[in-house]
């Protein structure tokens, strides 16, 4: 038997839930890409994309997923043989490092493991050791979606400044943009990368690279900046086709327009960040309660200030995480995320990890519903767990929902 027939909920960390309004906005035939309404709609996107990232700087948009966004940043920041310093806190940091290495960039990785954020002191020491100033940019993740570690971006910026190093600072916000507080200009970030399918609530297919004036002045003209990836013509397009170096992602743009209206204009970034903060807190409270009755159940990141607000990685002991995921999907219509980068998929330990997304178009009933389904699954499967998880989660929501 199953209770899964009803509206399914995809609670994986991307692609995220697409709002009905965004879907409806995209349900249309092809527009004229030479003149008319589409051009006006696109003009209206850039101020909102800047507001979203907290910058008055430049924006280049690409038809790409997040991996394409990484390559766009790499291609403009570096020439072949230049050096990158990558601060890795999980699989996504390492994957960005790999993409740079494969493009012929020299990469030094500072690996901070899978349970704590990048240490500003180690960053400062690595930059001080670079006496010849070879490191052109420091790359890191705001939130690594595999471990769900959140880095303290302002603290890392201060470490670069304390070292007196001229490296540019580039941050992957693919898992956090539109979910977790981010202020590109205030925090001294030179290059920010995001994609459409997570906090931006739109299908995969668009990547965005925001860049500061100093990044513009120092980058974008090297031997990796091939015509398609070069950010200058996109950010300073004189003709519409230059914005995407070819045909625009027409259908996506109507969806993005609607999503930005919802985030930037209707809800406002402060309330968007607050909503994610509260829903994350509800998930954490539930895991704390479950774990109190079974030490095998624990969140991956111990300290709340080190956790991303859009997704939570946890362990349940193998094979219970996989059993619980399957139960939730098959019996109750909630799809949880697999554990990523914690153990190889061929390793039995793989079945001890999962992730709960609370990213993008999510509200209290969705997150509380997912937690209640997980509670039911733990009970149905006979997985030991502490009591009171749903009460604890509801208390967080009751306090965070305002008057
Ligand atoms: C999802 C994600 C990526 C990769 O994005 P794709 O669209 O899958 O290529 C990179 N970095 C982070 C932090 C992500 O969450």
pLDDT (tens digit per residue) in 23-75: 999 999 999 999 999 999 999 999 999 999 999 999 999 999 999 999 999 99
* Angle at alpha carbon of residue 321, lines to 319 and 323, rounded to 5°: 70
Nearest Cα residue to atom 4 of ligand 1: 66
Distance of CA 185 to the CA centre of its chain: 18
pLDDT (tens digit per residue) in 124-142: 999 999 999 999 999 999 9
> What are the tokens at 193?
């990368």
Model confidence at 324, pLDDT cuts 50, 70, 90, reads very high
Nearest Cα residue to atom 10 of ligand 1: 66
Q: Pick the atom of ligand 1 nearest to 65's CA.
A: 7
Residues 384, 369 contacting (CB under 8 angstroms) = no
pLDDT (tens digit per residue) in 136-187: 999 999 999 999 999 999 999 999 999 999 999 999 999 999 999 999 999 9
Q: To test ligand 1's pocket by mutation, which of 175, 202, 337 has the most ligand atoms within 8 angstroms of CB?
A: 175
Nearest Cα residue to atom 5 of ligand 1: 66
The yes-or-no verdict on residue 1 having pLDDT over 90 is: no
Query: 376 C-alpha to center of ligand 1: Å?
Result: 31
Site residues for ligand 1, CB cut-off 6 Å: 14, 65-67, 92, 141, 144-145, 172, 174-175, 195, 204
Please give the full DSSP string across 210-239, using - where no structure is assigned.
EE-HHHHHHSS-STT--TTT-HHHHHT-SS
Nearest Cα residue to atom 3 of ligand 1: 66
Question: How far is 109 from 90, CA to CA, in rounded Å?
Answer: 12
Query: 362 C-alpha to center of ligand 1: Å?
Result: 19
Cα Rg of the chain, angstroms: 21
The yes-or-no verdict on residue 402 having pLDDT over 90 is: no
Query: 16 C-alpha to center of ligand 1: Å?
Result: 12
For residue 64, give the nearest of 211, 240, 204 by alpha carbon: 204
Q: DSSP letter at 345?
A: T
Map out the domains of the chain with their CATH numbers.
9-16+268-401 (3.90.1150.10), 31-266 (3.40.640.10)
pLDDT at 219: 97
The yes-or-no verdict on residue 403 having pLDDT over 80 is: no
Distance of CA 152 to the CA centre of its chain: 15
Query: 20 C-alpha to center of ligand 1: Å?
Result: 23
Average pLDDT in the 309-338 region? Answer: 98
Q: To test ligand 1's pocket by mutation, which of 69, 195, 203 has the most ligand atoms within 8 angstroms of CB?
A: 195
> What are the tokens at 381?
């499967």
Average pLDDT of the chain, as a whole number: 98
Nearest Cα residue to atom 15 of ligand 1: 175
Q: Pick the atom of ligand 1 nearest to 67's CA.
A: 9
Average pLDDT in the 302-326 region? Answer: 98
pLDDT (tens digit per residue) in 202-255: 999 999 999 999 999 999 999 999 999 999 999 999 999 999 999 999 999 999
Helices (H), 261-319: 269-292
């Amino acid at each position: 038997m199953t209770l899964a027939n009803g509206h399914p909920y995809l609670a994986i960390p991307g692609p995220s839930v697409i709002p009905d309004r965004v879907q409806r906005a995209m349900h249309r035939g092809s527009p004229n890409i030479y003149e008319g309404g589409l051009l006006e709609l696109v003009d209206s996107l850039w101020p909102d994309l800047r507001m979203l990232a907290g910058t008055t700087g430049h924006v280049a948009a690409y038809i790409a997923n997040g991996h394409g966004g990484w390559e766009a940043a790499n291609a403009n920041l570096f020439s072949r043989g230049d050096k990158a310093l990558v601060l890795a806190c999980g699989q996504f940091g390492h994957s960005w490092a790999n993409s740079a290495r494969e493009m012929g960039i020299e990469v030094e990785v500072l690996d901070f493991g899978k349970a704590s954020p990048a240490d500003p002191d180690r960053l400062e020491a690595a930059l001080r050791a670079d006496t010849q100033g070879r490191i052109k940019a420091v790359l890191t993740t705001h939130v690594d979606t595999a471990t769900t570690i959140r880095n303290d971006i302002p603290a890392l910026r201060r470490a670069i400044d304390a070292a007196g190093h001229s490296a540019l600072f580039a941050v992957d916000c693919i898992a956090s943009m539109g979910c977790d507080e981010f202020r590109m200009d205030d925090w001294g970030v030179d290059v920010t990368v995001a994609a459409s399918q997570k906090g931006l609530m739109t299908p995969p297919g668009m990547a965005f690279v925001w860049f500061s004036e100093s990044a513009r002045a120092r980058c974008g003209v090297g031997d990796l900046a091939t015509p398609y990836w070069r950010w200058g013509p996109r950010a300073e397009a004189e003709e519409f086709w230059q914005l995407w170096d070819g045909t625009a992602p027409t259908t996506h743009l109507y969806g993005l327009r609607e999503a930005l209206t919802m985030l930037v204009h209707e809800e406002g970034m402060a309330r968007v960040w607050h909503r994610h903060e509260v829903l994350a807190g509800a998930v954490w409270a539930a895991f704390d309660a479950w774990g109190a009755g079974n030490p095998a159940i624990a969140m991956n990141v111990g300290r709340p200030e080190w956790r991303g607000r859009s997704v939570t990685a946890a362990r349940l002991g193998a094979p219970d995480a996989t059993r619980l995921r399957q139960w939730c999907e098959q019996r109750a219509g909630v799809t949880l995320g697999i554990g990523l980068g914690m153990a190889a998929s061929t390793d039995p330990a793989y079945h001890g990890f999962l992730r709960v997304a609370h990213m993008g178009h999510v509200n209290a009933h969705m997150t509380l519903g997912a937690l209640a389904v997980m509670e039911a699954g733990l009970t149905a499967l006979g997985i030991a767990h502490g009591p009171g998880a749903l009460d604890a989660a509801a208390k967080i929501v009751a306090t965070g929902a305002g008057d």
